[in-house]
Amino acid sequence: MAEDLEVINKVLEPETGLPAIKLGLLRVEKDEIHYTPPSPFTPPILVISVGLQLKSLFKRYKIVIENYYISEEINERLNYDA
């Protein structure tokens, strides 16, 4: 888990270029990583890119996008094999 926390600092929020964890946009709970986009107006491609980056770095975790208008669809596609 400690090594996971080091890697999670590499996940950048695309609009600012800052680590998403330091912006309070990521939360780790057991076997899930939750991502809340910074705005409901964040373009879907940016939300999806963060989700894909998380999935590639944390294969054993379920990635959950929260508080976004198409989060259900994105979550289904990110976790189809989970």
List pLDDT tens digits, range 6-27: 899 999 999 999 999 999 999 9
Q: What is the pLDDT of residue 1?
A: 59
Kindly state whether residue 81 falls inside one of the protein's structural domains.
no
User: Domain range spanning residue 10?
Assistant: 2-75
Positions of the chain with pLDDT lower than 50, given as ranges: 82
3-state SS of the chain is CHHHHHHHCCCECCCCCCECCCCCCEEEECCEEEECCCCCCCCHHHHHHHHHHHHHHCCCCEEEECCCCCHHHHHHHHCCCC
Number of domains observed in the structure of the chain: 1
Kindly state whether residue 14 falls inside one of the protein's structural domains.
yes
Q: What is the pLDDT of residue 81?
A: 74
